[in-house]
A and B are shown apart, each in its own frame.
Chain A
């Protein structure tokens, strides 16, 4: 086991990793920017080193400073959290060359899963179902048209380097395909420096179902069930749940096996997530693989009782997985609500500032992962997520009721502070959510009705 781990992240995930370190008896070092000097993880880490001013590029993304801190603190491993450098192959490579273990995938795995078109190719080789589409990148708009006609409209043009919803355009006919092709290319070139595209059949009303993978360095790979992340706004998740209300045990087993095949296909040895799109007819296709711990990992923890961050650290330290696939138990139902400091009535515009009063809910089956406390000043320089409310119940109905009650209890206020709690409450109170009948177009469909509700 490692002696000391440096956490190259901030906010709630930094706190999460510090907690896992303490539970494992491992010392924690946190690097932080000047804007985070008063944050909770800085106070709880065993050691903390200021590495730069507020802008991420000069602090959390500045690997020279991070590695310098790792050197002066004499750490043996670095945990990158999610976002920032967690899927940066260069950073992983440099850590390895400094004999510091990068707690995550290998640089090669980051590269092979980071570029979507080659990742798809690898999945085809591994025997994992993929969305029908072009065989790799398309050379030009003419080729895109030929493929679109073969697949049948609607299709989606996607950037291979894309992410977070950028570089994609849906086309319902030849004319919109030409327009979409050029727009996606320009957007991707601007955002990622790479304008390469591929084409896929566009699945209407898909559900986004992802499987949690846990692997070790000895070739063992298991899955810990799915998470239904279909409640999204502009490709950003708002709420996740497990188990998915639409998966049958048979479908779960099939998708789980495909996820394990995908992870084995790239020799994966850490925690990761395989994302699928699930069609109305029950067909599922590989979408992408995320080679990091994810924001929504807690619902899987509540469902299975497995501490994923501890497992990730153990795996990185070379320990063998102690759980086999048949040992995995799914108990009850869990829901996560992401709470952002944003005003849902005003286009989700960010509302940072001082949180004068922060009173999280509690009770059986209620967990809050947050770095916020009363008096904490939310800095404007980073993403707006301030808390994750994770609720567990013996049934989906119990989990929904508990979640609604917890959101009612949750008090977050301060000058100018607004949160997304109102829209979460609204969704959880709706009949169509209660029946589990929703897909990725859900927020779009109900948004106007939400706006009509009074605050």
Chain B
């Protein structure tokens, strides 16, 4: 499968408003998913299953849940969602203190400067800004959970 072939398929999908295309053969597996117009179309192109030297298949290694510290969130399984991710490592808190209101609840409208949560790192309470505009659809982590860099915190639309 050449890049030109893939481009042609992508155009066809857009033209006919198709959302998913899969093709499998002995040497290749291709899956294209399409979602809202302003996101990238190509989501997943699998590594070719065979190597020219008749050698064992290159394993597709997944870090899996072993790669997260105990208590860190499992990332949302649908890659199509837009998320706000942790920019630092630390402990996630939904509000400034146990008795104050949460910064962001489901349904809240946020803009780039809105403070949406606190991540405590080394005893410093860092206010985390949304950096994006939209409406909070889902909260992916629990209060007082440990988060690593890049951990998805909120789903935003």
Contact = CB atoms under 8 A, between A and B. Distances in A.
Partners in one complex: yes
Contact of B67 (A48, A72, A98, A373): A48
B56 interface: yes
A430 to B, nearest CB: 31
Given A52-B149, A357-B51, A375-B61, A65 B88 contact: yes
A34 interface: yes
B47 A72 contact: no
A379 to B, nearest CB: 14
B82 to A, nearest CB: 18
Interface string A395-418: 000000000000000000100000
B115 to A, nearest CB: 19
A65 B151 CA distance: 14
Given A50-B150, A375-B61, A43 B55 contact: no
A203 interface: no
A68 B63 contact: no
B70 interface: yes
A51 B53 contact: no
Interface residues of A, number: 30
Given A65-B89, A72-B69, A375-B47, A50 B58 contact: no
A161 interface: no
B67 to A, nearest CB: 5
B61 A38 contact: yes
B106 interface: no
A335 interface: no
A49 B148 contact: yes
Contacts of B150: 34, 50
Contacts of B90: 68, 71-72
A413 B53 CA distance: 10
Interface of A is mostly: mixed
A357 B55 contact: yes
A374 B66 contact: no
A64 B148 CA distance: 13
A67 B89 CA distance: 9
Contacts of B56: 374
Contacts of B72: 49
A434 interface: no
Contacts of B63: 37-38, 42-43, 48
A29 interface: yes
Given A50-B148, A65-B89, A375 B58 contact: yes
Contacts of B146: 72-73
Contacts of A50: 67, 89, 148-151
A356 interface: yes
A48 B149 contact: no
A374 B53 CA distance: 13
Interface in A50-71: 50-53, 59, 64-65, 67-69, 71
Contact of B89 (A69, A373, A376): A69
B83 interface: no
B97 interface: no
B149 A43 contact: no
A319 interface: no
A71 B119 CA distance: 13
16 contacts: A29-B69, A38-B61, A43-B63, A49-B148, A49-B149, A51-B148, A51-B149, A59-B149, A64-B121, A69-B89, A69-B148, A72-B69, A73-B146, A356-B58, A374-B59, A375-B58
Given A68-B89, A374-B56, 14 more contacts: A38-B63, A43-B61, A43-B66, A48-B66, A48-B69, A49-B148, A50-B151, A59-B149, A64-B88, A65-B149, A68-B90, A71-B90, A357-B55, A375-B59
Interface of B: 47, 51, 53, 55-56, 58-61, 63, 66-70, 72, 88-91, 121-122, 146, 148-151
The 4 closest A-B pairs by CB, nearest first: A375-B58, A72-B146, A68-B89, A68-B121
